[in-house]
Structure 1
Amino acid sequence: MHITRTLALAATAAAALAVGTAIPAAGATPPDDSGVPSYQEFAASTYRDIDGSYLVNGDEVISGQSDLRSFYEQLVGPETPTDGLIVNTVNGADDKWSAAQVGSLTYCVSTKFGTRHADVVSAMASGAALWESASSKIDFVHVSSADGQCTTRNKSVVFSVEPVQTSQYIARAFFPSSPNRQQNVLIDDSIWSSGSWTPANILGHELGHTLGFRHEHTRPESGTCFEDNNWRPLTPYDSASIMHYPQCNGSSDDLSMTNSDRAGAVALYGS
């Protein structure tokens, strides 16, 4: 996403939030009756510098979308969740784990990651925590004793996390309905050089798939990147969702989790 607003407009937008005056982005929908621009409108109206950072209050730097949302919420409070996730469906039924299984999603991290093993363990824990903090019903459990024999054939864990060498993707995962032989998360070395996409957020996205969540951009509202119609909406469309590719008309560039992502997790698995 590239924003070419003036510095003055960025400062005005921040000031407008403080006093409750709307500064909508060009082409954006009007703000609600409160007169406060939505986060999407605020982000679109905030100047983005040549290094990708945002400028607020005239000359203050904010590094990315996650910090910009925090800045917005400090001014006006969290937005009411009005958007969220979609769940994969199989023959019309939600593709999800049972209540018992989602509370014990065990996994191993292959020692074949070598010197990056500890880094993968840490990134997986951080990515898992995004969903665990959304719903207390969700619990990813690293079984380190299985790391030495970490493949889909290891029946002591639900899924494996393994290295792969490919130019086709950074990482890939599976759905709850996937056959056992495909229940793994594969990670390419490019995960360590993906710019604003941190390993934790990338794996948070992939773990969203393991919970049954589809790419948000397959919805018609995104206008691109359509996949199929085998999904059910949990909440309205969210262009900033962790499950929405930024390059598919997404409004977040760092795959960070939104309040609506959390609401979608609760809608599927409970609070």
Structure 2
Amino acid sequence: MQRSRLGAIALASSALLGAALASPAIAATETGTTVPTYQEFKAATYQDADNQYIVNGDEPAGTNADLRTFYDRLVGQDSLNEGLIVNTVGGADDKWSTAQVGNLTYCVSNKFGTRKADIVNAMNGGAGLWEAASSRINFVYVPSQDASCTTRNNNVLFSVEPVQTSQYIARAFFPSSPKRSRNVLVDDSIWTSGSWTPSNILGHELGHTLGFRHEHTRPEAGTCFEDNNWRPLTPYDSASIMHYPQCNGSSSNLSMTATDRQGAAALYGA
């Protein structure tokens, strides 16, 4: 990303440069061409006794999220191309076609036993989060296929099946995954995950099925890096449903944010 815009803005608008913005990180931009990263900007911004960030000398920016909004506004539109991210394969977005994203069919295995109805409800709740973000996204439950709900069932796009593992609570796939890998596997620990509700956990997994990557692979997270095979869609969102709380995430419950909804609309249309 180009990092020269903030320097130009700082020079053009001296009124914007209050005491807090005249920090070492920002001051360098007034004579040079290097714009500080958000993390550099945050580290150089004064935080008062109430843990509020202060900008423009005496204006509270509030929380980390508020400070990020201020930074994005100061930097300009260049920074708005960062954030909720889509997986890429060979440099191309890993996404469904317009026709397919409106018909994402799935079954729920009878092997869930007494928990099957709970999984059906959780899947419906998780799917509804993304469907509310873009009217083009439509997950379609096909109960008639539940008796043979495996990746070999070609009557549905993917299957939802139980698994016993200590490695994860649930796992999913990307649109580019071959049919043999198109399943959402769910461990029993989904019922004992504290503030992570089953609907939000499956909402996270369904985000992957739409092509969205973990938000914490972005450098702003400072940890849990995975790889660089992604394209940014919206501003970095530490509270994203796609951001693990344990990877410097700011949300404890995997709930969906306004930025998540913007990302879905950016990729598939509102």
Aligned to 1:155: 154
Residues 100-126 of structure 1: CA distance to partner in whole angstroms, max 9, x if unpaired? 000000000000000000000000000
Which runs of structure 2 are paired with 1:1-271 in the superposition (5 Å)?
Answer: 26=51, 28=53, 30=55, 35=60, 37-38=62-63, 40=65, 84-271=83-270
Which is richer in helix?
Answer: 2
Q: 1:40 to 1:113 in 2, by over 3 A?
A: same
Find the residue that maps to 1:87 and give its secondary structure: strand
Distance 2:87 2:50 in 1: 33
Alpha-carbon shift at residue 40 of structure 1 (Å):
3.8
Check whether the contact 2:134–2:269 (CA below 8 A) recurs between aligned residues. yes
Sequence identity of aligned pairs in percent? 73
Distance 1:243 1:33, change over 3 A: farther
- Aligned 8 A contact 1:24 1:30 in 2: no
Task: Report the AA paired with residue 157 of structure 1.
Answer: V
In 2: Cα distance, 1:24 partner to 1:209 partner: 40
Say if 1:24 and 1:41, in contact at 8 Å, map to a contact too: no
The Cα offsets for residues 186-230 of structure 1, whole Å up to 9 and x where unpaired, read as 000000000000000000000000000000000000000000000
Q: Hey, what's the Cα distance between the residues in 1 that align with 2:230 and 2:54?
A: 27
Counterparts of 1:157 and 1:221, CA distance in 2: 38
- Local SS of the residue matching 2:249: coil
CA 1:131–1:91 in 2, change beyond 3 Å: closer, same or farther? same
> Is the contact made by 1:137 and 1:270 (CA closer than 8 Å) also made in structure 2?
yes
1:235 Cα deviation from its structure 2 partner: 1.0
C-alpha change, 1:224 and 1:192, in structure 2 (3 Å) is: same
Q: Give SS of 1:151's match.
A: coil
CA gap of 1:100–1:34, structure 2 versus 1, over 3 A, is farther
For the residues of structure 2 that align with 1:222 and 1:134, how far apart are their CA atoms? Answer: 24
Q: What one-letter code is carried by the residue in structure 2 that aligns with 1:37?
A: G
List 4+ stretches of structure 1 deviating above 2 A: 22-42, 81-84
Cα displacement (A) at 1:32: 11
Paired letter, 1:123: A
**One-letter identity of the residue aligned with 1:122:** N
Q: Which runs of 5+ in 1 are unaligned?
A: 1-21, 43-80
Q: Which runs of 5+ in 2 are unaligned?
A: 1-46, 68-79
CA RMSD of aligned residues (A): 2.5
Name which one, 1 or 2, has greater alpha-carbon Rg.
2
Q: Please state whether the residue corresponding to 1:181 is helix, strand or coil.
A: helix
Counterpart of 1:16? Answer: none
Q: 1:28 to 1:100 in 2, by over 3 A?
A: same
Post-superposition CA distance 1:4-47 (Å, at most 9, x none): xxxxxxxxxxxxxxxxxx988638574999856357469xxxxx
